[in-house]
Amino acid sequence: CKIENCESCFSRNFCTKCKEGLYLHKGRCYVTCPEGYAAANGTMECSTQCEMSEWGPWGPCSKKRKLCGFRKGNEDRTRRILQAPSGDVSLCPA
């Protein structure tokens, strides 16, 4: 393994476990997780940690809050944030 501060590797250029006290992110070892990432629950692996629900069903076609059948309008569907990094939902997709 040729990666600095790596304890075990998947390949010469991809770390799977860092030395104690260091965070693993995309096969490399860091003192802290990069911007926008946080350590996953109880591990030393950095991730965005945004866990999203499945998309819900499409709603009816509506325009200006009135149902419009198949005419020009919009259909909406939603999904929920199940888990956000450090509780910060702004790091998750819409």
Flag whether 84 is in a domain.
Answer: no
Q: What span, in angstroms and rounded, lies between the C-alpha atoms of 58 and 76?
A: 6
Alpha carbon distance 52, 80 (integer Å): 6
The reply to whether 91 falls in a domain is: no
| CATH for 30 | 2.10.220.10
Residue 15: inside a domain = yes
Confidence of residue 83 (pLDDT cuts 50, 70, 90): confident
Answer whether residue 24 shows pLDDT above 90.
yes
Query: What does pTM read for this prediction?
Result: 0.52
The residue written with tokens 């629950």 in the block is 41
List all residues 6 or more positions away from 41 whose beta carbon is below 8 Å from its beta carbon. Answer: none
Percent of the chain predicted with pLDDT > 70: 88
**How many domains does one find in the chain?**
1
The confidence score (pLDDT) of residue 31 equals: 94
3 part of a folded domain? yes
- Domain range spanning residue 15? 1-50
Percent of the chain exceeding pLDDT 90 equals: 24
